[in-house]
Amino acid sequence: MPDNHAIAHGTDDAAHAEHPPYLRHHFNSAAQQADATNFAMWLFLLTEVMFFGGLFTAYLIYRNWYYPAFVAGSHQLNVVWGTTNTVVLILSSFTMAMGVWCAETRRRRGLVLCLSLTFLFGLVFLGIKTVEYREKIEMHHVPGFHYSLQSFLDPESNSEVYNEYHDKPLAPDMAVHTELYFSLYFLMTGMHALHMIIGIGILGFMIWRARAGAYTSGHVTFVENFGLYWHFVDIIWIYLFALLYLISRHQ
């Protein structure tokens, strides 16, 4: 500890006896430290809002522009998988919120259980996303050299989708823009999935630390702020689900 700090607080021993070990010396109190950290986490989340906001705006404008292509592209998504994933993610947000409560009320076993369930729901979400992506690969709906317009020039060739929506064939110059729909689909769901993967990684670390009792002795900031991140990722999915899967079903 630097000398000037020791002078400001009297002796070293006295300075440390007054506050919990996790309180940094540049804060007056644990509450002030928690407030400042919470504020910083929100600032980070606002940059994330702007980042995803740019993608949402691009989607909004291109959907207006190439409306028939975006409607036809949207019909290729499976609403059952989308709904299942929405429920899975809401459940994971719930278990995360319960985890924060367990940390605050110092329930170590409860916290480990909640974090593990959140971890598990996260993996289930990614698993379902993999099933969906695989279907897109098989249908040649991944933008690039192997992209195929067949589902849009000849909708009846894809009987499963055709029986549900009875889409009319798109003109070739409109059908090419379905590739733009899928570019945005993979960009948005892919960035969302990347956030999930990062979150699951941090959850693994937290479960390991929580087992040792790291978050159930009064210092819950890390669990709380990770909770904010996880809920934010949930909110992004709530909008992705509405915009990508639901709004074009009757158009």
Q: Report, in Å, the least distance between residue 233 CB and other proteins.
A: 10
Spatial neighbors of 207 by CB under 8 A, at least 6 apart, are 112, 115, 116, 119
Q: Are 185 and 237 in contact (CB under 8 A)?
A: no
Report 105-144 residues binding other proteins (CB under 8 A): 105
Report residue 234 CA to chain centroid gap: 5
Provide CB contacts within 8 A for 97, sequence distance 6+.
Answer: 227, 231
Residue closest to 180 by CA, chosen among 60, 28, 95, 15: 60
Report CA-CA distances (Å) from 210 to 46, 85, 111, 219, 222.
28, 27, 7, 11, 11
Q: How far is the CB of 197 from other proteins (least distance, A)?
A: 21
Stretch near other proteins under the rule CB under 8 A, chosen from 100-108, 128-136, 182-190, 207-215: 100-108
Residue 95, both tokens: 């278990």
Give the residue, chosen from 53, 172, 201, 213, that forms a contact with other proteins under the rule CB under 8 A.
Answer: 53
Q: How far is the CB of 200 from other proteins (least distance, A)?
A: 18
- Smallest separation (angstroms) from other proteins to the CB of 177: 17
Single residue of 10, 20, 32, 131 touching other proteins by CB under 8 A: 32
Q: Give the interface with other proteins as residue ranges (CB under 8 A).
A: 28-29, 31-32, 34-35, 38-39, 42-43, 45-46, 49-50, 53, 56-57, 60-61, 79, 83, 86-87, 90-91, 93-94, 96-98, 101, 104-105, 227-228, 231-232, 234-235, 238-239, 241-243, 245-247, 249-251
